[in-house]
A and B are shown apart, each in its own frame.
Chain A
Amino acid sequence: MPTYVHMTRCDGCGECVDICPSDIMHIDKTIRRAYNIEPNMCWECYSCVKACPHNAIDVRGYADFTPLGSSVRVHRDEEKGVIAWRIIFRNGTKDFELLAPITTKPWGEGIPDLNTAEAPSDEMRNSQLLYNEPKYIRMDEGGLHTFETNKLSLKEGVYY
């Protein structure tokens, strides 16, 4: 759900411009308020929502769960470590809130200490796996799945 800015709440401080990983939050050159220049490219990380000191940034809800004209407001509470949502339908009668954790330990904790991590061996260097990539990401211990390994074959020509 891409974000958008309520111009009347924005004061053009540029916090969202600074934090947006996709660089799509810009300041309008005439009215000096932030706006999302390309919602299609929004990663939906809600960093701008979190960074905005005036809660000026809202979310455009997907039509499959919030019909057109609804209000989806989101509030990331850093100190409590949760993200809260409030969705109000256009008719005003459906109004519900959601709450979910975004962190389980204080910010800045749990960062791996790479200085003490073991240096990669030659075997690891030559491997196709990335450094520290868990092995279980590969679903097989052996080679790649192929037609041969799965005892399948392709027939020639067009067939249904």
Chain B
Amino acid sequence: MLTTNPFAELANVSELISPTTMQIYAVLMFLLVVGGTILDIVHKKSMKYFNEYTDKANAKATKQVSASDMASMRVKVLTSEVLTSSEFSNQKRRLSHLLTMYGFTLFVITSAIMIFFYGDAAGGETPSIWPLLWHLGALMLCVGGYWFWFAIRVDVAAEGKKWYDIAPRADMFILSLLGTCTFALLWSFTSGAGIFFLLFLISSLFLFGGVYWSKFAHMFFKPAAAYQKKVLEANGHNQNLPYVPDLSSAEVHEKYPDIPTYMGKNPPNMGPGIRRESANHY
């Protein structure tokens, strides 16, 4: 069951679901994602705002950032923000996001491989590694996604909001994602092209077709924003945040006499303060 290619079996069930139809459907989904993202950018003018802000911030930069530093920042964004979701300070959210992200990536890549290379008998027997990874991806997505849905999402709302309170637009992405992987697993486990396959199709259509309305496109925007943040920190703009200087310097003592008066000439490290205990969202 875990080692059989569910897409290859579809062709045996009905002639309507031929490998070519599946390939056309997959290409259509890809085009929907690209089109949805472009429409989203045009409608929200996010690219325009992003570029304007970058220009304004660069004009106020106090330091020059070298090309090698920019390149190392790009690598850092990839290894830190993209691959390990370091932006999340809450470790539960981070783990849930990583499970969902890697599960989704595995699921999509193995689906494409099984549809395009092993969709029909002519492609030969599907190596068992692809269906295995496909099931693993869907399972990881389910674990991360349901964890988010039942525990983390409700917690974040902090409004006594129940798991069955659905905000259609806010939850479109996560629900279609959960629907896609859940129905994919159920369809595979029941070895049939019945109701679960139909539900799988509908969920995937919502997932890839709803990019314009959902937060699917965050995978493109977030790395760009993380990179911009790093550049602004390096070039001294730092998003207009105040600079906290070394408190033991004579210059600071002269400019801000309250510091030596109340804290001494060489103030100690005051400890983690608020971060001594982790937040417990009631």
Q: Using CB atoms and an 8 Å cutoff, list the residues of chain A in contact with chain B.
A: 8-9, 11-15, 17-19, 26-27, 29-32, 47, 50-51, 53, 55, 71, 73-75, 77-82, 84-86, 88, 97-101, 103-108
Closest to A23 in B: B158
B281 close to A26 (CB less than 8 A): no
8 smallest CB-CB distances across A and B, nearest first, come from A78-B273, A86-B242, A81-B270, A84-B242, A53-B89, A18-B279, A107-B273, A77-B244
Question: A78 contacts which chain B residues (CB < 8 A)?
Answer: 270-275
Q: Using CB atoms and an 8 Å cutoff, list the residues of chain B in contact with chain A.
A: 87-90, 93, 155-159, 161, 167, 169-170, 225, 239-245, 247, 252, 255-256, 258-259, 262-263, 267-276, 279-282
Question: A13 contacts which chain B residues (CB < 8 A)?
Answer: 88-90, 93, 156
Known: A13-B90, A79-B269. A19 touches B274 (CB 8 A): yes
Known: A18-B280, A77-B244, A99-B252. A29 touches B161 (CB 8 A): yes
Output the residue of B93, B239, B267, B270 with the most chain A CB within 10 A.
B270
CA distance A49 to B239 in the complex (A): 15
Chain B binding site: helix, strand, loop or mixed by DSSP?
loop
CA distance A74 to B244 in the complex (A): 10
Q: Per a CB cutoff under 8 Å, which of A26, A31, A53, A105 touches B170?
A: A31
Closest to A25 in B: B158
B156 close to A32 (CB less than 8 A): yes
B155 close to A14 (CB less than 8 A): yes
Question: A97 contacts which chain B residues (CB < 8 A)?
Answer: 242-243
Q: Per a CB cutoff under 8 Å, which of B158, B167, B272 touches A26?
A: B158
